[in-house]
Amino acid sequence: MTSEMVLIPLLVGLAVIGVGGALILSRYARRAPIVARLNNLSGEAEAQVVSEDSPRLARVVGNIGTAVTSGKASISLKEQLTQAGYHQPNAAAVYIGAKMILLVIGVCGSAALVVPSHLSSHAKLLLVGVAAFFLFLLPNMVVSSRRSGRQKKIRRHLPDAIDLLEVCASAGMGLDMAWNSVTDEVRPVSQTLADEMALTNLEIHLGATRADAMRHMARRTGADDLSSLVAVLVQSERFGTSIADALQTFATSMREVRSQTAQESAEKMAVKLIFPMVIFIFPACILIMAGPAFLALLKAFHH
């Protein structure tokens, strides 16, 4: 009875907060386009307003995130979302809004399931807190998984792309033309790397220098190999050395690093297999080998 007296006011308070938040968000959603237009006209920094072309659910979640962050998100969060492949302007707002919605769902849903149980009040509060915390961190895990997956794909296919660049440069093509050709050739193999290379080419056509565009590409993907490639190309242009030789040397070093990484993973595999063998395989083997003898001893003692 004591736990119900604690949790029922908590749920009522959450319901009141939800209704009040919905009213505030509805007023903010009506004012958001006007505020965005005024900011654009005045030349101020554009607020994180969700585009009208985005899906309805994304707009609702984005409005919640915008209300929570007041239209401002940290630069590190934007970089993490960009490295995960979320290039939309409202990605940070949708991300934060999803975390807030999942937090409320975790609190209300777990409380509705835990309240009728016969657990103690401390156990109920602990379960509610664990469920809410897990759902709150779910977007972090999704973004982290997608970010690491994109970086692995880029590292896997980047040596092949550099080899193609080296072949094109050795054939007499300019670096920009070779970059476009490699982008088209890499697209059937790695859509992620091809999209990033195409975006880099677009930045160059819009007036950015090749070094700056490639630095932006390295920052967008979070791949350290791209930063090294930028340094190699900048140095080759500055000192007038052959770009083809520099690319060939860089591709060879990348393949050596990838081979060493594979060998290191193979050597670690023996150590990692110890724990499943001790937990699952050894007890089964001992049971099979010593089981008949143990049963025979039991029969002997009973007689």
Q: What is the pLDDT of residues 204-219, one digit of tens each?
A: 888 888 878 888 888 8
Q: Give 221-259 pLDDT, tens digit per residue.
A: 887 777 888 788 878 877 877 888 888 888 888 888 878
Q: How much is the average pLDDT of 184-203?
A: 86
Per-residue confidence band for 37, with pLDDT thresholds at 50, 70 and 90: very low
Please check the confidence at residue 192 and state whether its pLDDT lies above 50: yes
Share of the chain above pLDDT 90, in %: 0
Quick one: pLDDT at residue 52?
Answer: 46
Of 152, 165, 172, residue with least CA distance to 251: 165
Given a contact cutoff of 8 angstroms between Cβ atoms, the answer to whether 96 and 72 are in contact is no
The pTM of this model reads 0.64
| Delimiting residues of CATH 1.20.81 domain(s) in the chain | 153-267
Distance (Å) of CA 266 to CA 180, 257, 269, 271: 37, 14, 5, 10
Q: Is 247 exposed, middle or buried (0-12, 13-18, 19+ CB in 10 A)?
A: buried
Tokens coding 265: 């993973």
The count of residues in the chain is 303
pLDDT grade, residue 25 (50/70/90)? low
163 and 235 Cβ atoms separated by less than 8 Å: no
* Number of Cβ atoms within 10 Å of the Cβ of 59: 21
CATH T-level topology, domain 153-267: Receptor-associated Protein (1.20.81)
Q: Which of 151, 109, 155 is nearest to 130 (CA)?
A: 109
Higher pLDDT, 218 or 117: 218
Burial class (CB in 10 A: 0-12, 13-18, 19+), 95: buried
What integer pLDDT is reported at residue 291 of this predicted model? 81
| pLDDT for position 53 | 46
Please give the residue that has the higher pLDDT: either 23 or 194: 194
Q: How high is the mean pLDDT of the chain?
A: 77
